[in-house]
Structure formats: structure tokens, C-alpha cells
Structure 1
Amino acid sequence: MTLPVQSRLVVPVLGAGGGSGRSTIAGLLACSLTTLGTSVVLDTAPRLTSPWPSWPDTPGSGLASVPPDQPFTRAQVAAAASRSIGPGGEWAVLTDHREWNHGALDLPAEPAAWYQLAAGGGWQTAVADTTHPIAHDIVTARTQRLPGLTAAWCSLPFSVPVLCAPTTGPGVAALQTAVKAASAEGLPLQRMVVALTTSGEGRLPAAVKAAATMLQSQVSAVVTVPFDPHIRNHGMAQANRLGRRTAEAGAALVAAILASAYRTWGDPLPPAAVPAGLSTNSVSVRPAQPASEGVLTS
């Protein structure tokens, strides 16, 4: 099964707290989403906190070659993308490949800018590996009356958020707090998919099973990702060596995302808004217009 050529899916991977397995889930999703169409991971983390620069099989020129305040062509963003190979085929990664002693790269904070970057590259599915803890973000935005990153990611066109948490007591406690905050803020919980990441062998704790059961009626789906020794030792490097059960969990996540998208927007997915092209045949990473009305070239 593939997405219609003119359709697009955005999958922001959100964490209830630290150690929630966001990067692993983002990579696993990209592996599985290649069966639907071209796929890219958007690494929103600063260089020295991200595992992504060391994971791809073939490095690209990196995000530094796509300045956030200047227009770019589709060829430029394609050259910036690194390549990884998983069980379902090849997928792209947009990350920072500079040496550790370089200054901080000016990454855009706005989700709409990352959406524009993925649209400019022509990818059909974009997986955003985010870095902010969502409950803190939601409460801070609400109390200070500021735009929230979580709300902005959820409001992007054809966005199905994936909320991650580890299968531990503290992990699901943070997850439940995040769900409460999202519900209070009116965010689309019914569209979200929860990914529970397992860090070791053995049965799930009773608290985790209870939390998963309670969440079933609040979110679109709950998927448990099993422990994988390869991920423990190598992360998402050499992704074509993932275990069978891990690959099956990735396929289950994608199936849950598609089911959520179809319930929300219909099956097949309607065409994504096609931004108007610039006369210079280039794209700006920081759109002056909303994401669905930005600029895009072929």
C-alpha cells in the first residue's frame, strides 16, 4: 500500500519526559513509512544532544547547507539529506553533520518551518524527532500565553502525533500527566498514537498495563515496542538489522497512524495543499505564510 502521490503525512514524535525513546521511535517509523512513500526524519535537536549524526548509512551535506533565513532549491535540500537503509527500503535524515567544536546551528523553532523543509524536499511522510517535554510545554504556553510547540506540531496539515513513554512506573506517570495536560488544552488526543518503549526483557509492570488499558479510550491507539538488543547497542544505525518483532511493532505503529489519519481526513487521504512556487524556483525555510500556504518548488 502506498499514499496517493499528492498526499502527505506529518508525524511529530513527542516525549512525555526524558528517556522516552523519541529518536528510536522516529527511526522505527521512518523505516516502516518507506512502504507508503518517500520518508524523512527531521532532527530538531542541537548537534551535541542528538544521536542522528552518527546513525545514517550515507551522510549528506547536513542542515548547515540549508540556511534557515535564505531560499533553497529542492536539489539543495536533497543533497543535505543523509540516507539510511531499513527493512522497508531507504529513508532520508535531515540532521547537523558538523564537527563537535562548531558553534550552535541556528535551527528553526517553528514547526511550520520544519514542515516547509520537508515539503520543499518533496517527501511524502515527514517524521519529526522533537526535544521538548510536552506537559511542560503545554503548561508554560498556557500560563504565559505563548504559542506552544506541541499545539503547533498538532495543528500542521495531516499531522498524526506519536506520544512516547518508557514502560516504567515513572515513565507512564509522566505520560498520564502529559495526556491530562493535552486534554485540558483541547489538543487532538483522539488523533494521537501512544508508543510505549520497552528497555529490557520480561513482562510489563502491572502499572504499565493498567495505564495502557486506561489510555485506550483516550487516544487513537497504544502500541508497545519490544526490547531490541541491536537498538540497545547501536541505536538506529544499521537499521536493516532490526529484530523481527521490532519491525512488526514499527508496522503496527504505521498501521495505527494510517487508521487515525483515515478516520480524521478520509480514505484515501486528500491531496496536501500545494504551496505556490516562487519565481526564483526556490523555497524559504521560514515561511511568511501558514505552512499549508507556503512556498514549494519541483
Structure 2
Amino acid sequence: MGKKGHQAIPGFGAASRLAVPVMAAAGGSGRSTVAHLLAEELAAAADTVVADLAPRLTSPWPAWTGAAQAAGLAALSYDVPLSRSRIRAAAAVRRAPQGEWAVLTDGREWNAAPLRLPAQAAAWYQLAAAGGWQVLVADTAHPVAHDLLAARCSGAPSLTRAWCELPFTVPVLCARAGADGVQALQQAVMVLHAEGLPLQRTVVVLVAGSDGRLPAVARAAATMLSGRAAAVVHLPHDADIRAHGLQAQPARVRSRTRQAARELATAVLCAAGHAFGDPLPDAPQPSPFPALAAPAVAVPAFVAPAVVVPVV
């Protein structure tokens, strides 16, 4: 398992951007852990931010980041001008040997009214671009296969498709390395293929639930996917992460976990270079929306009158 081929890791120009939506077909797939480890490694390549798309009371990010010390997403209301400094002040900062990286999450107390966060992938892409970050790692919360099938049956837009079609995107698809997780993964891959979504630049992560070799069903899935996905990466079980989450001290994370995270980041960057070129081209400039009426309740500014991101 690992990256396909031996492409050089692409460089980042001043106007380059990369979107990395971390997705899964089912809950319990290790999606947030993968997003954290990936962002930590990508921080060595470019200015990186994680967007936490889960509802606050289901998300681990506020606890992992101590986000209450930052302004958080609640500070990005529609009636306040959003300068770059204001957006960056809303982000919690994580420090790692690879460099600092940011997290946009909601760190308020549990009993605060839920924010009406945008579902549109383009809104988060815009927010990261306005904040000056070059790499956006999106910890998504929707089930991939269900989202695509529901969109097909209803004619409504699909979140998965919207994320995959952002400029310069490398999707990451997570699954537990067991029978149930692999079954959900295989169903998701079939739906992605049927919908014509870019499996060839998608990186698959098989997240182990215990020590030892991958189960036979996961090894078979990895073999099957190696010719269709950009790479298949095995994230080994880490007892410290399982016990303490990613509040754990970096020194306590196992070396083989770090190695797998580096392999994952390399696979993502190589997939980007293979698909889009090395160095990555300049990102397209967003186009403005017509002005819209302000909503009656305070919501993040990037929900309403922002931009349309041209898809290339």
C-alpha cells in the first residue's frame, strides 16, 4: 500500500491552494483523527487550516484544540466585516514539530445555541481563502454514499460532489479496517464510480481498530482499490490516541502512526501534483455574488453574501 508511482511532491506558489475533504461512508471511521494527523503533516508544506463541519456537541475538535481560547466560528457573524486578521483570530492554533496550523471550530459552552453553519463546500473554500490559508482540510460530517444516492433520487445538490469539484481538490476517504467498515467503503466506492467522481485522485485510508496485521478483508479491499484510487494508506492502531484522543502529547503518539501520517500527506500531495501539475497552478479568483438580504438571526458571514467559486 502507499502512493501510486513516484511523482515528486508538488510545490506551493504564493497563489496556490489545495482542498482536502476528509470523508467517510459511516460514523466511527476515524475521520477526525485522520484529518488531525494529515493537517499536522501538511503544515510543513503550506499554511494549513482544518474546517470542523460537525455539530459542536458531536465534534472532538473543541476539546482537542482548547478552542474556547479562540474567537471561534461564532465570531464570524454576517454583520461584521471579515478581514483576514479577523478570520484568523477566530481559529484555534495547534503547534507541532512540523509547524503551526489552524482549526476553525465552535468552542463555545455546550448550552450555547447551535450555529447555522453553511453546508456549501464553496463557502468553506472561500473562508479559508479569505483567511489566507493555502491548504483546507475539511473534516466533513455527512455519509458519502447516502449523500450521493439521496442526491440522485431527489435531484438535490450533493455535498460529496460539491467538495470533489472544488478547484484543486484531493478527497480522502476513510474506513475502519474491519468487515463492516470495508463493506461501507466498497459501497461508497461503487457509488462514487457510478457518479463519475474522481477516484483516480482520491486517497483511501484504512484505519485499524487493533494491533497486528490488517484483517484479510481489509487487505483484499486494499488490493482491489490500489488500481482505482490514487493511494491506499494503512493507519495503524495507536493505544494513546484511542485512550486520550488527540489531546495527547505529540511525543506519546507512536512512531509508526507518525510514519503513516507522513505517508498519507505524501500521497495527498503526490495525487495533487499528478492531477494538477507541479508546482500547483494558481487558484482561481472567486467571483462575487449579488447582494442578498441579511438573515434575521446571526449566522457566520460566509453563509450569505459571499462568492461563487468557479469550478475548473
The alignment's TM-score, normalised by the length of structure 1, stands at 0.92
Does the residue aligned with 1:89 lie in a helix, a strand or coil? coil
Q: How many residues align?
A: 289
Residue by residue over 1:239-261, the C-alpha shift from the partner in whole angstroms, topping out at 9 and shown as x without a partner, is 62322111111111111111111
Cα deviation code 1:166-206 (max 9, x no counterpart)? 11111000000000001001111111000111121112111
Q: 1:38 aligns with which of 18, 22, 47?
A: 47
CA distance in 2, matches of 1:277, 1:139: 31
Tell me how far apart the structure 1 counterparts of residues 288 and 85 of structure 2 sit (CA, whole Å).
Answer: 15
1:62, CA displacement in angstroms? 0.5
Amino acid at match of 2:302: V
Tell me if structure 2 keeps the 8 A contact 1:68–1:106. no
The letter for the 2-side match of 1:291 is: V
* Contact 2:287/2:308, CA 8 A, preserved across alignment: no
Identity across matched positions, percent: 52
> How far apart, CA to CA, are the structure 1 residues paired with 2:65 and 2:279?
32
Secondary structure of residue in 2 paired with 1:213: helix
Distance 1:68 1:141, change over 3 A: farther
Q: Tell me by how many angstroms 1:284 deviates.
A: 5.3
Q: State yes or no: 1:171 paired with 2:189.
A: no
Match of residue 273 from structure 1: 284
Q: How much does 1:277 deviate?
A: 9.1
Say if 2:147 is the partner of 1:130: no
- Residue 132 to residue 104, structure 1, CA distance change in 2 (3 Å): same
Deviates more, 1:239-248 or 1:169-178: 239-248
Listed one character per residue, the Cα deviations across residues 256-296 of structure 1 (whole Å, up to 9, x for unaligned) are 11111111111111111234799xxxx95145542249xxx
Q: Decide whether the 8 Å contact of 2:13 with 2:279 is kept in 1.
A: yes
Cα distance change of structure 1 residues 68 and 110 upon mapping to structure 2, 3 Å threshold = farther
Q: Which amino acid aligns with 2:37?
A: L
CA distances 1:108-141 after superposition (whole Å, capped 9, x unpaired): 1111101111111101111000001100000000
Q: Secondary structure at the match of 1:222?
A: strand
Q: Which residue of 2 aligns with 1:186?
A: 196
- 1:6 equivalent in alignment to 2:15: yes
- Structure 2 SS opposite 1:72: coil
Gaps in structure 2 of 5+ consecutive residues: 1-8, 290-299
Contact 1:82/1:93 (8 A) holds in 2? yes
Q: Offset of 1:86 from its aligned partner? A: 2.3
In the alignment, structure 1 segments of 5+ residues that lack a partner are 294-298
Q: Aligned with 1:35: secondary structure? A: coil
Runs of 4 or more, structure 1, over 4 Å off, are 68-71
